[in-house]
Chains A and B, each alone.
Chain A
Amino acid sequence: MGSLSFMRESLAEVFGARFLRPRIQVGGSSRLRHVADAGDNGGVSGNPLFRLSIICMAAVQPLDTTIGVVTPENIAFEYQLAGPFRRLPAYLIDFAVRWVVIIGIGIAFLFFGGMMSFVSSFYGPLTEAVIVIAVFLITWFYGTIGEAYFNGRTVGKWMCGIRVIEVDGRPVSPRSALLRNLLRVADMAPVAAFNTWDPDVPPIYMIPTGIVGLVSMMMTQRMQRLGDLAAGTMVVVDERKWQLPIAKVDDARVPALASYIPGDYLITRKMARTLATYVERRHFLTPPRRREVARNLADPLIERFSFRSDIDPDLLLYALYYKTFLADSLTDPADLGPLAGYSPLAKDMGKPVGLAMPVAEQGGTPNQFADPLQSSVPNLLGVPAGGSHAPSRIAANKKADETTGGGG
C-alpha cells in the first residue's frame, strides 16, 4: 500500500518534472539525493530517467526477510523471518534441555523407586515404566507441548528470540504444533551412520544431517522446513528488548542555523524521512564522510536558501532535522546565546559585526557554521580547521569552491 501511493506520487512528479520544468541535471549524485529529489517538489528536479529507476526500485518487494502481518485491527506490522542460523542454535539448546529433563526425571524416579522398594517389589518395574514413558513423551512431544502451551516457543526458541506463528500471523494452534514437530524426523533426513567414520562400528543410522529441511528452507519464501509447510507455520524473530531511539541535538549551532531556514520552505514527507534516516545514522560516520554524504542534498539547499557556500553540509541537514522534528514552534525565536549576530546568509558575508567577536583580517564575518575543511578562518567553537591529512579531500574541496564560488 505504501509503495503504491509512493508510486502514484512519484509518477505525478515524473510527469510534472518532464512537462513543467524540463531541466537536465549532471550525474554524480548519490542515492540520498535521489530519494530526497523524488519527494522535494519545490526545489531541485532530477533527471526523469533517474526517477523512473527509483520508482521501479520502490515497487519491487524488498530483498530482505521481512514479512507483513495484517491484524484484526487492520494494522499491518512487520516480522522478520528466522533463517537456519537462528533456528539451529535453538534446536541444539532444545536437544540439550530434552536430555537434561529426561535424565532429571530418571534420577528422581530411580531415587523414588529405590526408596519405595523397601516397601514393595512392585515399584522397581513401575519406575522403569515411568522412565520409558517419559523418554518417549519427551522425545516426541517436547516441541509440541512447548509451542502449544507457551505461545509458539520452546526453551531454545525463547533463548534465541524466535517464535512459531501460523503463516497468516495468528498464534500457532496445537494441531499445527503437533504436525510440525512430528514431521521434524523427515526434515532431519537423511540420517548418517556412525560407520561412515569408523568402519568397526555396526551401521546404525543415528546422526541426522538435516539436509532435507535445509533445502526446503532455502527453496521457500518464508524459510519453512517441510514440517512448517505441512502445518502452515513459519518461524519469526521475536526480540525482547529494545530502546526507543530519539536523536538528541547537543550542538548549540544547530538551533541557530535552523532559525535562518526560511519559513516558507515546506518539508515534504519523503524529505523528512530522508533527514531522519540521515541523522539517526550520522553517528556511525566520520565527520568527513558525513560531509561527503550530506553534500549531495545540502548543496541545492544552500543555493535555495541563499546561504554562504562554505556552510557545513552536515550541520545544515542536522539543522533541518531539528527544525522539522524537534523545534518547539516555528514562531519562537531560537535562543542564540553567544552566536547572536552571526548570519549564514550569503548577503551578510561582508557585514561587520560590533560584538566581541574576533573579526578576521579580510573584514568579513567569520563563519560559525563553516565546513572546517573548507574554511581558512579559525572559529570560536574550536573545530579544527584545515585538513592537511587528506590531500585528495582538499583537492575536491578546491574544485567545489571553484564551482560553487561563482554562484555565491
Chain B
Amino acid sequence: MNVAKLLEKRRVDWTELERLCEAMELRGRTDSVSVHHRGAAGVARFSTLYRAACADLALADAYQLPPNTVTYLHRLVARAHNQLYRTTSASPSGWFRILFEDAPQRIFNDGCVRVATLVFFGLFALSMVMGASEDQFPEFAERFCGSAMLEATEESFQKPLAADPDSYTARAAFYIQHNTGIGLQCFAYGILLIPCLFTLAYNAVVLGATFGYMSREGVEGSENFFEFVTAHGPFELTAIALSAGAGMRIGMGLFNTRGLSRVDSVREAGRQAVPVMAASAVMFILAAFTEGFLSPSAAPYLVKVAWSIMSSGLITLYFVILGFPKQKSEGTSLVRTARYADLRETRIAAVGGSDAT
C-alpha cells in the first residue's frame, strides 16, 4: 500500500479538523472557519471529522503508518477530543443542590466537622474564661494577644458605635476579603491536618482571650464591643469551624483510607468537602455583610440581638432540618429482619400496585 498517497488523501480532512480545533480554541465556535461551518453544520462537520480521525488512529497499525504519523494522530485526536468534550460550566441549580442538599447532609453526619466545632468553641470558651479571670490567670490575655493589640481594641470601642454609613461597603468588603481568606486558608491547610488545627486553635484562643479581656470589669468600651460582635458572631464563628472541618475531612481522607486506595480515598474526601466549604463561604460572606453594615451602625441594640437570634435560628434549621439523614441513607445493610406478616403485606401491596398500573 502506498502510505504517502493515503496520507495525502486523509490529510485534507486532518487539516480541516485542525482548523476547526483552532477556531474552537480561540472563540469556542466554528463559525469563523468558512461559510459551510456556521452553527449546527459546523458542529456536525467537526464530529464527523473527529470520528474519521479516531478511525484513522484505530487503523494506524493496519495501515502500517510510520510512528511519527501515529504520534501526529494521537495529538490530533487529543486536541479534537478536548474541544468536543468541553467543560460543562456550573449551572445555578447545581449550586443550589450543593448548598441546600449536599452541604447540610454532610455537615450533620461529618465527624470532622464535629471535632472542628468542639475544638474551636471549646478553646474559645476556655480562653474566654481564662482571659476574664484576672486573678487566677493574670497575664493570659496579654501574653496571647499582646497588650498593644488589646489596648488598641479597647480604644477603638471607647466611643458609641456610629460608623459613617458611607464606609459600610468598604468595611464589608474588607471583612469578606480578610475573614473568608482565613477560612479558605484553614480549609486548604486541612489536607495537612496540623496547620489547619493550628490556625483554628490560634484563632479560637485569640478571639476568646480578647472576649475575656473585654469582659473584665473596669475595661472601657466593653459594652460597645459586645454590641459590635453580637450581630455577626453566629455566622462568623460557625463558618470558621465549618471550613476547618471541611479541610480536615480531606486530611483524614489522606491518612485514614478506610479500605480504599489512598488516591481514591482523598478524591472521595475532596468530593465530600466541597459542599461544606461552599456553605462555609456563604456564611463568611453573610457575616461580612452583617459586620460591615449592621454591626458598626447606630441601630438599636435590640435590632442587632434580633438579627443574631434569627441567624442562629437559621443556622440551626439549616443544619437540623435540611441535614437530618434522609430515609434512603438509613438502610446501610441489605440484610434486615422483618416479621412474616409485614413481608406478606408488602408483597401483596407490591403485586397489587403493579396490577393496578
Contact = CB atoms under 8 A, between A and B. Distances in A.
Partners in one complex: yes
Interface in A95-112: none
B270 A230 contact: yes
A305 interface: no
Contacts of B2: 325-329
Nearest to B21: A240
A226 interface: yes
Interface string A321-342: 0001111110000000000000
A135 interface: yes
Interface in B258-296: 263, 266-267, 269-271, 273-274, 277
Nearest to B251: A186
A128 to B, nearest CB: 4
B69 A244 contact: yes
A229 interface: yes
A33 interface: no
Given A182-B184, A189-B192, A220-B263, A75 B176 contact: no
Contacts, number: 188
Interface string A103-143: 00000000000000000011011101110110110011000
Q: Is the interface of A mostly helix, strand, loop or mixed?
A: helix
B188 A121 contact: no
Nearest to A276: B66
A238 B185 contact: no
A172 B2 CA distance: 41
Contact of B87 (A126, A152, A238): A152
A93 B25 CA distance: 20
Given A174-B89, A175-B274, A77 B266 contact: no
Nearest to B77: A77
Centre residue among A139, A169, A175, A272 by max chain B CB count within 10 A: A175
B199 to A, nearest CB: 11
A320 interface: no
A165 B87 CA distance: 9
A317 interface: no
Interface residues of B, number: 68
Contacts of B11: 244
A34 interface: no
A151 B87 contact: yes
A232 interface: yes
Q: Is the interface of B mostly helix, strand, loop or mixed?
A: helix
B188 A230 contact: no
A125 B165 CA distance: 10
B92 to A, nearest CB: 12
A279 B64 CA distance: 14
Interface in B51-73: 51, 54, 57-58, 61, 64, 66-69, 72-73
Centre residue among B66, B67, B86, B187 by max chain A CB count within 10 A: B66
Interface of B: 2-5, 7, 11, 14, 25, 50-51, 54, 57-58, 61, 64, 66-69, 72-75, 77-79, 81-83, 85-90, 166-170, 172-174, 176-177, 180-181, 184-185, 187-192, 195, 250, 253-254, 263, 266-267, 269-271, 273-274, 277
Interface of A: 2, 69, 71-73, 75, 77-79, 121-122, 124-126, 128-130, 132-133, 135-136, 139-140, 147-149, 151-152, 163, 165, 169-175, 177-179, 182-186, 189, 212, 220, 226, 229-232, 238-240, 242, 244-247, 269, 272-273, 276-277, 279-280, 324-329
The 8 closest A-B pairs by CB, nearest first: A230-B270, A276-B66, A185-B188, A129-B173, A136-B177, A132-B173, A129-B169, A245-B68
6 contacts: A71-B81, A220-B263, A230-B266, A245-B69, A247-B66, A277-B66
